[in-house]
Chains A and B, each alone.
Chain A
Amino acid sequence: MDPAEAEFLAEKELVTVIPNFSLDRIYLIGGDLGPFNPGLPVEVPLWLAVNLKQRQKCRLIPPEWMDAEKLEEIRDQERKEDTFTPMPSPYYMELTKLLLNYASDSIPKADEIRTLVKDTWDTRIAKLRLSADSFVRQQEAHAKLDNLTLMEINTTGTFLTQALDHMYKLRTNLQPAESAQSQDF
Chain B
Amino acid sequence: MAEGLEVRELDSDGSSEELVLTPAQLLRSLEQAWLNEKFAPELLESKSEIVECVMEQLDHMESNLKRAKHGDLKVSIHRMEIERIRYVLSSYLRCRLVKIEKFFPHILEKEKSRAEGEPSILSPEEFAFAKEYMANTETYLKNVALKHMPPNLQKVDLLRLVPKPNLDSFVFLRVQERQENILVEPETDEQR
User: Which residues of A are in contact with B by a Cβ distance under 8 Å?
Assistant: 1, 8-9, 21, 23, 26-32, 47-48, 51, 57, 139-142, 153, 157, 160-161, 164-165, 168, 171-172, 174
Contacts and interface: CB of A to CB of B under 8 A. Distances in A.
B166 A165 contact: yes
A40 to B, nearest CB: 17
A141 B187 contact: yes
B186 A26 contact: no
Given A157-B172, A161-B172, A172-B191, A30 B81 contact: yes
Query: Shortest 3 CB-CB distances between A and B: which pairs?
Result: A164-B170, A161-B170, A142-B184
Q: Taking chain B's interface residues, is the majority helix, strand, or loop, or is none over half, making it mixed?
A: helix
Contact of A28 (B78, B170, B172, B185): B78
Interface residues of B, number: 33
B81 to A, nearest CB: 5
A29 B2 CA distance: 8
A168 B27 contact: no
Nearest to B57: A29
B77 to A, nearest CB: 6
Contacts of B1: 27
Nearest to B54: A29
A128 to B, nearest CB: 12
Contacts of A142: 184, 186
B171 A161 contact: yes
A141 B27 CA distance: 34
Contacts of B78: 26, 28
Contacts of B140: none
Given A47-B84, A153-B172, A164-B170, A23 B23 contact: no
Given A168-B170, A172-B192, A51 B80 contact: yes
Contacts of A153: 172
